[in-house]
């Protein structure tokens, strides 16, 4: 499999997909591909607007996407894709749409056979076994929590260490600790903004200039960097 799992689309003061565009270019290569874009996580803006926004950045690296909503047969579109790109937004909405359109299994099968997969935020969430570590409100109810399970661990994108002043709610770490208390067999990776995972040929590496925080039931959280070995997450 070939996966590029990005924490966030935009860093403060930067344009959309600005920090990740060169990683995406290197991942896709120089040759233009039939890349299918899945915009279903969009809630407050149209699929057309989302497609245009992504293409504005992809054009800078010699690539182009076509949104899946333009196809009469979305299953066939995935089966014929050279690459699959899944945008961020609301993970619950994304999962519900993929389930309703019968796309979960076809995407999983296609990516398992080697089709490159790029996802950011919600698009990274659904590469995990479940959507249980999303930050999003459940604005809709999908059929089930189960997602693509392209990787055997969970990602919490946009991971924050901060506990804002005068904030009485749980920290992100506290919420993840609740998750691993109930899901004791799963690692959870707090993927900080500006970082991403690259999986190629069973080799998992962290990219970006920040460390990632890893949680497992019964263990102290670990802080790992781009220099560390992440192979343990795949077993």
Domain 2-153+193-209+229-234 belongs in CATH node 3.30.1330.60 = no
158 labelled catalytic: yes
69 labelled catalytic: no
Share of the chain above pLDDT 90, in %: 93
pLDDT tens-place string over residues 166-203? 677 788 999 999 999 999 999 999 999 999 999 998 99
Catalytic option among 69, 136, 162, 231: 136
User: What global pTM score does this model have?
Assistant: 0.96
The structure tokens 């182009």 sit at: 64
pLDDT tens-place string over residues 18-44? 999 999 999 999 898 999 999 999 999
Residue with the bigger pLDDT between 66 and 171: it is 66
64 labelled catalytic: no
Catalytic option among 7, 9, 121, 124: 121
Provide the residue ranges of all domains of the chain, joining segments of one domain with +: 2-153+193-209+229-234
Q: Cβ(214)–Cβ(197) under 8 Å?
A: no
Cα pseudo-dihedral 183, 200, 206, 38, rounded to 10: -70
pLDDT tens-place string over residues 121-135? 999 999 999 999 999
Pick from 31-35, 48-52, 116-120, 209-213: least confident:
31-35
- In the chain, the largest separation of any two C-alpha atoms, in whole Å, equals 51
- With 0-12 / 13-18 / 19 or more C-beta atoms within 10 angstroms meaning exposed / middle / buried, residue 138 is middle
226 token code pair: 């781009």
Q: Cβ(83)–Cβ(33) under 8 Å?
A: yes
């Amino acid at each position: 499999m070939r996966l590029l799992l990005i924490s966030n689309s935009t860093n403060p003061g930067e344009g959309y997909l600005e920090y990740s565009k060169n990683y995406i270019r290197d991942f896709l290569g120089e040759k233009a591909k039939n890349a299918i874009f899945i915009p279903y996580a969009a809630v407050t803006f149209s699929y057309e607007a989302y497609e245009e926004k992504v293409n504005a950045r992809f054009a800078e690296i010699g690539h182009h996407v076509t949104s899946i909503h333009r196809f009469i047969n979305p299953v066939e579109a995935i089966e014929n894709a050279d690459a699959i790109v899944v945008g961020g937004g609301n993970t619950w909405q994304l999962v519900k749409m993929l389930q309703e359109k019968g796309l979960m299994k076809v995407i999983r099968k296609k990516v398992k056979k080697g089709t490159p997969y790029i996802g950011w935020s919600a698009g990274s969430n659904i590469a995990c076994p479940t959507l249980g570590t999303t930050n999003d409100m459940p604005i809709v109810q999908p059929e089930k929590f189960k997602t693509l399970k392209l990787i055997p661990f969970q990602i919490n994108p946009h991971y924050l260490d901060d506990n804002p002043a005068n904030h009485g709610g749980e920290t992100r770490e506290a919420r993840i600790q609740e998750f691993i208390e109930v899901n004791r067999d799963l690692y959870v990776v707090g993927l900080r903004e500006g970082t991403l995972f690259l999986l190629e040929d069973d080799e998992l590496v962290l990219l970006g200039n920040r460390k990632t925080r890893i949680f497992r039931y019964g263990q102290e959280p670990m802080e790992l960097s781009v220099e560390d070995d992440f192979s343990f997450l795949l077993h």
